[in-house]
Amino acid sequence: MTDTQAAAIPSPAPASDREPLLRVTGLTRHFPIRGGLLRRQTGAVRAVDGIDFTVNAGETLGVVGESGCGKSTMGRLITRLDEPTGGKIEFEGTDITHLGVGAMRPLRRDIQMIFQDPYSSLNPRHTVGTIVGAPFRLQKVATEGGTKKAVQELLELCGLSPEHYNRYPHEFSGGQRQRIGIARALALKPKMVVADEPVSALDVSIQAQVVNLLDDLQRELGLTYLIIAHDLSVVRHVSDRVAVMYLGKIVEIADRDSLYANPMHPYTNALMSAVPVPDPRRRQRAGRERILLKGDVPSPINPPSGCRFRTRCWKAQDVCASQEPPLTALKTGHQVACHFPEQREGND
């Protein structure tokens, strides 16, 4: 939801009084590494390493970061396709961190995931009708007029034709396949949708269409989104807030406008400078120099001490190696984890 659409979503209470729909505290996922004959644990991949955030009902949180920063793992933890090794996930005030299969069943309706790859996430041997209708059968949900009618309505809602019901995934383009994935995710009217790089596998020319579809559906159905992307430009127009992840941590989280106008973490600045600004005069005014990120994200098996970004940071000092910078609010609604955050002129 963008700010201009706020009026379309009924809000039962002022934002400050409301319990967030999702609250994540100290969320951690370490994948054990085993070795030797006894398969003893010799280490861990610290894919998600203690992150905190909330998502309010009706809003969109964008999550960005390079490949390998733990975004997908975080998405799978929230949707409980995977189980955290530490921390807590609360949905509508209920602790769902370690719920078993049975206790999760009603929640499976409320929290849905859209996957990155519309080619591999749809079973090629099933028709569109079977794929989009599967949630109704799995959850034993009866609909007025039958499943077929419900599926055809969903297809239309997602910009497909009801006649596509008997067709197979390979008959569709990438964008259309992602629409099928979206229709399936929305079948049971979830409250929250986690979309993991929903347009990364698509042609640039159709990415905006799919992002706009998600935006329209949010308004129509009152959805709450967590949208993962590796590129800041993809989530800019649909996010209310944006979180930047680096090596299993959130390094910056802020209201959308605050983040894009005044990115404070060096990593965010580097990601931002990778976003093309078409008009060179605007680029100058924004004071944006091109920062090239050198090297790859280090291994989460043995992350750098102190600040994890220090091995690639042009501002690093000794303190960055010895002390981990805590995520701190430097402005209302703007938190940063850096010992030497950027402060642009004209901003306090």
Ligand X SMILES: Nc1ncnc2c1ncn2[C@@H]1O[C@H](COP(=O)(O)OP(=O)(O)O)[C@@H](O)[C@H]1O
Point out which residues bind Mg ion (CB under 5 A): 71-72
Contact call for residue 300 and ligand X (CB under 6 A)? yes
Using CB distances below 5 to 8 A depending on partner kind, what does residue 339 bind out of ligand X, ligand SF4, Mg ion, none?
Answer: ligand SF4
Q: Which residue is nearest to Mg ion (CB)?
A: 72
Using CB distances below 5 to 8 A depending on partner kind, what does residue 310 bind out of ligand X, ligand SF4, Mg ion, none?
Answer: ligand SF4
* Helices (H) then strands (E): counts for the chain: 11, 12
CA 247 to chain centre: 15
Q: Find residue 228's DSSP bridge partners.
A: 63, 196
Single out the residue of 27, 61, 69, 244 in contact with ligand X (rule: CB under 6 A).
Answer: 69
Distance in angstroms (rounded) separating the CA atoms of residues 88 and 198 = 26
- Which is closer to ligand X, CB of 164 or CB of 308? 308
Beta carbon of residue 176, minimum distance to ligand SF4 (angstroms, whole number)? 41
The stretch among 7-15, 69-77, 83-91, 119-127 that binds ligand X (CB under 6 A) is 69-77
The stretch among 68-76, 125-133, 152-160, 273-281 that binds ligand X (CB under 6 A) is 68-76
The stretch among 5-13, 21-29, 110-118, 338-346 that binds ligand SF4 (CB under 6 A) is 338-346
**Which residue in the block uniquely carries the two structure tokens 């041997």?**
125
Distance in angstroms (rounded) separating the CA atoms of residues 48 and 59 = 23
Single out the residue of 198, 310, 327, 335 in contact with ligand SF4 (rule: CB under 6 A).
Answer: 310
Q: Find residue 28's DSSP bridge partners.
A: 49, 86
Q: How many CB atoms lie within 10 A of CB 324?
A: 15
Check: CB of residue 107 under 8 Å from CB of residue 80: yes
Query: How many Cα neighbours within 13 Å face the side chain of 127?
Result: 13
Please report, as ranges, the residues that interact with ligand X according to CB under 6 A.
31, 45, 47, 65, 67-73, 300
